[in-house]
Structure 1
């Protein structure tokens, strides 16, 4: 079994280019995994996203280049959580324990991290010819409402 955080690795997530590079690296690692391992990876991703689905993080504003502050949408918040996971296990643990550093992932460039959601299902479909089914208490569809907040 391949460890989730080993597959994720870590990235400084400073710009869209670094996010794209991290996604390519993860995609390469996923390409060597069995369909069962891909499903476990997707389950673990959903659980990790759920664990940082917190109101205090969702309420951090998006700060645009001109200094304009806007509230996060539910999609923006989901992609910011993906960026946090791309940053690696330590960044994730810091955010989980104290929320520290999550504001970095709310930046507009971090929306590129959305691609993390599709890597395992796309690889699974390439290998099997069918869509991945993830049986989890942490489905993406249930997020942002389970923790008691919604936009």
Structure 2
């Protein structure tokens, strides 16, 4: 799944009313991806991990716990492509997500749940990029 397809899926599955923590979005994504094919689930997981990895930088998460930082980064993705790109361009735009403690934990588990719904099996996935907090070592170097 390329980046444009990922963001289109986020847009199409987003609810018509505000959903900052992504609960409705996650449910819609899971339902859509659970229809298959497995390659779509894998592609979504890869792209989600990469986008979270890009936000895994010192200027965003220095004062956050690992879990909080992960779930706040997920909330930036829930906010959509325009906001995600704005945060990448200006790290100060990340601060309101962290200050308001906007956590979109449910987005993280969408690929796992969709895979299980599609195949009936639990998925122990590995992605090219780790979405775990502080895994982007280059983003945490002191410069």
Structure 2 length normalisation: TM-score?
0.78
Report whether the alignment pairs 1:119 with 2:110: yes
Could you tell me which residue of structure 2 aligns to residue 34 of structure 1?
37
Structure 1 residue ranges without an equivalent (≥5): 60-70
Structure 2 counterpart of 1:78: 70
Asked if structure 2 preserves the Cα contact closer than 8 Å seen for 1:13 and 1:110, the reply is no
Give CA-to-partner distance per residue, 1:47-95, whole Å, 9 cap, x none. Answer: 0000111100013xxxxxxxxxxx3101100000000000011111111
RMSD, aligned α-carbons: 2.6
8 Å CA contact retained: 2:10, 2:29: yes
Q: Secondary structure in 2 aligned to 1:101? A: helix
Q: Matched residues in 1 for 2:131 and 2:76: separation?
A: 16
1:145 matched residue in structure 2 = 135
Equivalent pairs, count:
135
Structure 1 stretches (4+) deviating beyond 4 angstroms? 10-16
Specify every segment of 5 or more residues in structure 2 that has no aligned partner in the other structure, as ranges: none
Q: Does the 8 Å CA contact 2:72/2:101 hold for their aligned counterparts?
A: no
Q: Distance in 1 between matches of 2:29 and 2:101?
A: 19
**Distance change in 2, residues 1:110/1:137 (3 Å):** same
1:65 maps to what in 2? none
Q: Does the residue aligned with 1:115 lie in a helix, a strand or coil?
A: helix
Instruction: Assess, with a 3 A threshold, how the Cα gap between structure 1 residues 109 and 22 changes in structure 2: closer, same or farther.
Output: farther
Q: CA deviation at 1:100?
A: 4.0
State how far apart, in whole Å, the 1-side matches of 2:102 and 2:35 are. 27
Contact 2:53–2:135 under 8 Å retained in 1: no
| TM-score, with length taken from structure 1 | 0.75
- Within 5 Å, which residues of 2 pair with 1:15-54? 15-16=20-21, 19-54=22-57
- Pairwise CA distance, 1:40: 0.7
